[in-house]
Amino acid sequence: MKLTLVLLISVFLQISYASYGQKVTIKGKHIQTEQFFREIQRQTSYKILYAAEMLEGLKSTDLNLKNVSLEQALDAYFSGKPIGYTINNNVIVIRQKTVPVENGLKRDPVTISGKVTDEKGAPLPGTSVMLKGSSQGTNTDTQGNYTLKLSDNKGVLVFSSIGYLTTEIEVPGNTSTLNVTLKEELKNLTEVLVVGYGTQKKITATASVSTVAGTELAKAPVANITGSLAGRVAGIGTRPNGGVPGQDNANIFIRGVATTGNNAALIVIDGVIRSNISQVDPNTIETVSVLKDAAAVAPYGLGGANGVILITTKHGKAGSTSLSLNSYYGFQRPTFAPKMLNAVDYMTLKNEGDLNSGLQPQFAQDLIDNYERLHAENPDRYPNSNAQREIVKINTPQQNYNLQLSGGTDRIRYYAGLNFFRQEGIYDPLAYNRYNYNVMLDVDATKTTKVTLSLNNTIEDNQTGPNPNGISYIPTRALFYSNGLWGESGGSSPIADLMSGSYSRVKRNQALNSLSVEQQLPFVPGLSIKGVFSYDPSYSEDKGWSRPGYYYLYNPAVTPATYTRTLQGDGITSLSQGYSKNQNFTYQGLINYHRTFGNHDLTGLIVAESRNGISSNLNASRRGFSVNVDELNLGTSNRLNFDNGGSSATSSQLGYVYRLDYGYKGKYLIGATGRYDGHYYFAPGKRWAYFPAFSAGWRLSEESFIKNNLNWVDNLKLKGSWGKSGNLAGSAFQYLSAYSLYGNAYAFGTGNLVQGSFVPLEANTNITWEKSTKSNIGLELSFWKGKLTMDADVFHEKRSGMLLAPAITVPVEYGLSLAQENAGVMSNRGLDLTVGTNHKFSNGILFGATGTFLYAKNKLEQVFETPATRNNPNRSRTGRPLGTPFGYQALGIFQTSDDKNGDGIINATDGYTITQFGALHPGDVKYADLNGDGKIDANDETVVGDPLYPAITYGLNLNASWKGFDVNVFFQGAGKASLNVQGYQTVPFRINNTNTSYEYFDNRWTPDNQSAKYPRAYASKNTNNTTNPVNGDGFGDFSSSLWMASTDFVRLKTAVIGYTFPAALSKRAGMQNLRVYASGQNIFTGGGLGFMDPETGFSQREEAYPVQKTFIFGLQVTF
């Protein structure tokens, strides 16, 4: 704690240093450029960034400099050379320049025109041409031509284009024509990675980190980015949580599932640990970095085991003020819509099921044959309802409006964003509104002092309502009558739900605020200190109003027919309301050091971090309202019909981080990092742990045997890492004995209820966090000036100390449950890969492609087994992936030929002596008797499919542009996963007389269709054909291989086509840039189930809110 205070106080004290320059002394003959750079870095705290090809052909220089300023030394060396420099903070960026043209007669005003091309002479459309230090500028047209009017012939023109080195040229004084050639930028040599508590150059980094630019994500606008990362970033897999507006955040997994506990990745936004990516407006994201191996995640200690997602938001840039608008409007619709039976087919199937079950058919055949005519004559008496189609709004609107303001000077830079997003649901009153504003201010208070202020606020208003289940609605029951009233099916009506006025509404207000001060210490070159303070308050209010609905019963027995209003359910109105407040405080003190000594490069980091939280909530509910007003005070006064509650809590975490990186000649690299962490969850003796990591790298491309012989190799690096990290498991204070109050009531002979208390769970003083040991071996390569790049990593992880409840039963008299133990062990191994290429064709077409691949397979090494699974290798969880489904092995479906004596029953008289679940008939499922005891029971269970979460995730991102047109297409897919598909669509009449889909109807077994996919129809649940007879509900987690279906799929995740208008046209309209575009998301899905979205999980199934596909049209304008 003392170290924390020292670091924080030392940073936040207002220390004012004299702004004096660093002095340089360099003397020598024939000094080469790289030698000069090394000497500058050795004598100062400055880093130098340059591309190696820029130094080719430069002559050596004689220098005799003594105690001169840095600028004087640079000017002296670069005098007469075609390269120059710019200084930004502590970084010297080497750039191309041309020899200034001798000034001629001053012309006022002047017009400069010319053409901008690449090194092959191809035009560069869209190149920015700006007069340095002013707002005067233009862009080249589709042929690379530009024209710029200036007030005089003084100044410097700055030419910049994505993928090329920025070039500065003095305004020519004796000509009006200036043609410029831009050199291609080797991004892989200059790219900077955002890592834990800092940045690193990718070329020398030894950790496994993947990044994606915010501009790449913005190509296909989304409500939040959680569903956009899988396939775009190697190592990430996601699982959607349906499509409910405002509740569609996908679960994110980095390198698969590695624990039985919490698998969520840690979220860090602008250097501070936060809780939810959805708190960030996607339009404001600069980069997303994914930390994957031990070397990358170790700085986050107990939170790093599941990987870390670092989000960096946009900062302002020096230059004239820029105002941009990005707006779009579009619509959503379900990716898959269940096709449920019409009335005729429903009655046909129902009769078939009745006959197969030994019952009398419910519907007369004459009625079925004439039903279409009867329906046309009297639709109220003979309905043909399709509730799913009629209650779901197919095209629901979605809109977004975003404004961004950016600019500043060399000392003060600002960025501000304002956003509104609205998404409507497929049912009323579903709707989601989000408002964001964010402000980023960077101030260079002195040459050595930088202050950054970040303010981000998100306001959400999310309204939902009843979830009407149209899938189960029987088509022979009227959804609507001809007079506009609505009917029922099985005593309920989805229209009654929607018309009741019931709702659930959540309002949230979340702020992310931070202030940092960084001070360079000139008396120790390369040393700086930094303090960060963040305050993240959040407030939420939820309100749920449930009113009984009603429907109308049709009675055709009287004339005229009557429609009787009938109350649905218990008729009781209820209201629940809750408020919560959370405040999170983060304090960071950092010491950074970086120096280059000749061939040696050394970077060091020390961090002390304290995180504290305060939370409170209050909730109340009432039942029995006599008036239709949703206020708590108007509810019943009966104590049995209302409830109040509340709680408050505090949290704290303290950690100390170090990182040390060393490089020799830029090719031999080693690193060490770690964190010492303490957390309030655990007992005093178990609160602290140390998480170290080590890494190393070797840049083979810098070795002479490659550098001197294979000039097409830009970068070739081997790297490896090993280390430990943690995962916070369980809940707070499990090491203490707890008491549950008010949950017990006992009548002591009087019949009166008496408040009591009890101990619900044993205490475990040894409980602590999970520990992860990770190892990684990686390869990075870049060939032909970045034309081909690849990052590949092979990884292995062993997770120990997973919390598990003992799999034993204790007597009821014991009175409490057994405590969880840190007993589980699990391994996870695999490969993640990124391959990219880009090319510019002679006709001006730019093309790029990036592919990603992830394979991650886990295995339970040690878990508690029940006696039944421990002694049966077919049922044992140990040695298998987490979530492996177990059930019976289906051998197929009994056919008519199996009923050898023709009595309709298959038994020993037909040569089949195995006992299953009740009498067997042709069309029933046949199971394997794995233990050979002559009967099918739990001892015959075995693995019947792959886990729910896929072991394989992949993606392919394609980009192309030409003459203002741009196209982006992104495919994403997954493999090695399966789903138990028992539900409304595949199990007939799953609950009483509910409807069934054409998926089952068209693929069921009948005597005329004996190569069927599904077993015969039956009147109600048939435990032989559906699930474990102990469950007996046709909808359990227990099944057979017949009901397990592969969810492998490939999806056209996004497609975008846009057009950027010529710069000259935009200028005439008063704009710097104008682009229009159309975009689609979840457009097409191949493979998978065919009748439902393959990313629908066990908990959702087909009656849940569906995953949505989106089509939007957008406009982007910059002023």
pLDDT digits (tens, 9 = 90+) for 240-290: 777 788 888 888 999 999 999 889 999 999 999 998 787 688 889 999 999
Q: Which residues contact 2 (CB under 8 A, 6 or more apart)?
A: none
pLDDT value of residue 20: 36
How many CB atoms are closer than 10 A to CB 731?
10
Kindly report, residue by residue over 896-931, the tens digit of the pLDDT. Answer: 999 999 999 999 999 999 999 888 999 999 999 999
- pLDDT greater than 60 at residue 187: no
Percent of the chain scoring above 90 in pLDDT: 53
Spatial separation of the C-alpha atoms in residues 818 and 839, rounded to whole Å: 62
Question: Which of 50-64, 408-422, 547-561, 921-935 is the least confident region?
Answer: 50-64
Q: Cβ distance 245 to 459 under 8 Å?
A: no
Q: Do 115 and 167 belong to one domain?
A: yes
State residue 833 phi and psi, 5-degree precision: -145, 140
| pLDDT (0 to 100) of residue 107 | 46
Q: Do residue 90 and residue 115 come from a single domain?
A: no
Residue 629 has pLDDT above 80, yes or no: yes
Return the CATH number at 177: 2.60.40.1120
Whether residue 572 contacts residue 537, with contact meaning beta carbons closer than 8 Å, is answered with no
Give CA–CA dist 913/907, Å, rounded. 6
Question: Do residues 28 and 88 share a domain?
Answer: yes
User: What secondary structure letter does DSSP report for 578?
Assistant: E
Last residue of a domain, one of 927, 943, 959: 943
What tokens were used for 333? 């619709």
| Structural domain containing residue 916 | 886-943
Q: Taking the alpha carbons of 995, 998, 1004, 1009 in that order, is the dihedral positive or negative?
A: positive
Residue 1040: pLDDT over 50: yes
pLDDT at residue 742 is higher than 80: no
Banded model confidence at residue 39, pLDDT cuts 50, 70, 90: confident
Answer whether residue 426 is part of any domain.
Answer: no
* Six-digit token string for 870: 């421990």
Separation of alpha carbons 419 and 908, rounded Å:
72
The pLDDT value recorded for residue 647 is 92
Quick check: is 234 in a domain?
Answer: no
Q: Which residue has the higher pLDDT, 697 or 993?
A: 697
- The reported pLDDT for the residue numbered 992 is 65
- C-alpha distance from residue 941 to each of 886, 930, 1026, 1030, 1032 (Å): 6, 8, 14, 13, 16
The reported pLDDT for the residue numbered 163 is 66
Same domain membership, residue 124 and residue 175: yes
The pTM of this model reads 0.81
Indicate the SS3 state at residue 504. Answer: strand
**How far is residue 439's CA from residue 511's CA, in Å, rounded to a whole number?**
12
- Count the Cβ atoms, other than its own, within 10 Å of residue 646: 12
Quote the pLDDT of residue 750. 58
Q: Do 797 and 255 contact (CB within 8 A), yes or no?
A: yes
- 851-869, pLDDT tens digit by residue? 999 999 999 999 988 877 8
φ, ψ of residue 9 to 5 degrees: the values are: -65, -40
**166 inside domain:** yes
Provide the pairing of β-strand 713-727 with 688-699.
antiparallel
Rounded CA gap, 439 and 416, in Å?
4
Beta bridge mates, 795: 776, 830
376-420 confidence digits (pLDDT tens): 999 999 999 999 888 988 899 999 999 999 999 889 999 999 999
Task: Report pLDDT for 564.
Answer: 96
Q: How many degrees, rounded to 5, is the angle at CA 300 between CA 299 and CA 306?
A: 125
Asked if 569 and 545 count as a contact pair (C-beta separation under 8 A), the reply is no
Whether residues 118 and 84 fall in one domain: no
**How far is 364 from 543, CA to CA, in rounded Å?**
49
Residue 197 lies in a domain: no
Choose from 88-92, 442-446, 1086-1090 the range with maximum mean pLDDT. 442-446
Strand-by-strand arrangement of the 145-150 sheet: 145-150, 110-117, 180-181
* Class of residue 887 by CB neighbours under 10 A (exposed 0-12, middle 13-18, buried 19+): buried
| Two tokens, residue 653 | 């975490």
Q: Are residues 84 and 41 in the same domain?
A: yes
Residues 63 and 119 in one domain: no
Please check the confidence at residue 991 and state whether its pLDDT lies above 80.
no
- Do 42 and 124 have their domain in common? no
The sign of the dihedral angle between the CA atoms of 1021, 1024, 1025, 1027 is positive
Q: Across residues 770-793, what is the average pLDDT?
A: 94
Higher pLDDT, 729 or 179: 179
**pLDDT (tens digit per residue) in 509-525:** 999 999 999 999 988 88
What kind and span of H or E run contains 490?
none
Segment among 125-129, 205-209, 757-761, 773-777 with least mean pLDDT: 757-761
Most confident of 61-75, 756-770, 1004-1018: 1004-1018
In a domain, 86, yes or no: yes
Query: Mean pLDDT throughout 969-993?
Result: 84
* CA 201 to chain centroid: 25
pLDDT class for 215, splitting at 50, 70, 90? confident
On whether both 13 and 84 belong to a single domain, the answer is yes
Residue 1042 maps to a domain:
no
Measured CA to CA in angstroms, residue 66 lies from 21, 28, 45, 195, 1034 at distances of 14, 11, 18, 39, 88
Confidence label for 144 from pLDDT (cuts 50, 70 and 90):
confident
Number of structural domains in the chain: 3
Answer yes or no: is pLDDT of 760 > 80. Answer: no
Indicate the residue among 153, 185, 217 that finishes a domain. Answer: 185
Question: What is the pLDDT at residue 1074?
Answer: 92
Instruction: Specify if 71 maps to a domain.
Output: yes
Q: Are residues 133 and 170 in the same domain?
A: yes
DSSP per residue, 794-839: EEEEEEEEEEE--S----GGG-SBPPPEEEEEEEEEEEEEEEEEEE
Residue 743 pLDDT > 60, yes or no? no
Q: What is the mean pLDDT of residues 926-955?
A: 92
Say yes or no: 120 and 91 in one domain.
no
Q: Which of 167-181, 202-216, 770-784, 1029-1043 reaches the highest mean pLDDT?
A: 770-784
Query: At 39, which CATH number?
Result: 3.55.50.30
Same domain as 139, residue 59: no
The two tokens of residue 516 are 């940092």
Reduced DSSP (H G I as helix, E B as strand, rest coil) percent helix, strand, coil of the chain, to 5: 15, 45, 40
pLDDT at residue 98 tops 70: no
State the alpha helices, DSSP H only, in 948-1042.
Answer: 998-1001
- Compute CA distances 162 → 85, 127, 232, 286, 610, whole Å: 19, 8, 20, 15, 40
Distances (CA, A) of 592 to 206, 441, 518, 527, 953: 19, 22, 10, 6, 38
Average pLDDT of the chain is 86
490 pLDDT exceeds 60? yes
Reported confidence tier of residue 1099, pLDDT bands at 50, 70, 90: very low
**671 is a domain residue:** no
Residues sharing a CB contact under 8 Å with residue 9, sequence separation 6 or more, in sequence order:
none
Mean pLDDT of 694-711: 93
Whether the CB-CB separation of 899 and 992 falls below 8 Å is answered with: no
Residue range 101-127: mean pLDDT, rounded: 72
- What's the pLDDT band for 813 if we cut at 50, 70, 90? low
